[in-house]
Amino acid sequence: MLKISNVTKSFSGVFEPVLKRVNLSLEEGEFCTLIGANGSGKSTLLKIISGEYVADSGKIKRDGEVSQVVQEVNKGTIPSMTMLENIALICVKTPRFSFYGRHKNDIADKIRSLNIGLEKFIDQPLSVLSGGQRQTIATLMALNSGSKILLLDEHTSALDPKMQTLLMEYTAKSVRKLGLTTLMITHNMEDAVKYGDRLIMMHRGQIVVDLKGHEKSNLKIQSLLEMFHKFEDQSLLHCGEENVN
pLDDT value of residue 189:
92
| The CATH number fitting domain 11-244, selected from 3.40.50.300, 3.40.50.1000, 3.40.50.620, 3.40.50.2000 | 3.40.50.300
Domain ranges of the chain: 11-244
pLDDT value of residue 85:
85
d(CA 156, CA 144) in angstroms, rounded, equals 17
pLDDT at 96 over 60: no
pLDDT value of residue 1:
83
Conformation bin of residue 179: beta by default, left when phi > 0, alpha when psi is -120 to 50? left
Mean pLDDT, the chain, whole residue set: 87
Of the candidates 149, 200, 197, 154, the residue with the CA atom closest to the CA atom of residue 172: 197
Residue pLDDT, tens place only, 141-187: 999 888 999 999 999 988 888 889 999 999 999 999 999 999 999 99
List the Cα angle 233/237/242 in 5-degree steps. 150
| Contact yes or no for 129/141 (Cβ under 8 A) | no
Q: What percentage of residues in the chain have a pLDDT greater than 90?
A: 54
pTM of the model: 0.88
Mean pLDDT of all residues in 44-67: 94
Mean pLDDT of all residues in 1-10: 94
Of the candidates 150, 217, 202, 231, the residue with the CA atom closest to the CA atom of residue 9: 202
Mean pLDDT of all residues in 12-25: 92
Of the candidates 186, 152, 169, 141, the residue with the CA atom closest to the CA atom of residue 69: 152
pLDDT value of residue 107:
85
Residue pLDDT, tens place only, 63-91: 889 999 988 777 778 889 888 888 888 87
| Contact yes or no for 18/9 (Cβ under 8 A) | yes
Residue pLDDT, tens place only, 107-147: 888 888 888 888 899 899 999 988 888 889 999 999 988 89
d(CA 231, CA 204) in angstroms, rounded, equals 9
pLDDT value of residue 109:
87
Q: What percentage of residues in the chain have a pLDDT greater than 70?
A: 90
Task: Give the DSSP H/E element, type plus range, for residue 222.
Answer: helix 221-244
d(CA 53, CA 211) in angstroms, rounded, equals 27
pLDDT at 95 over 70: no
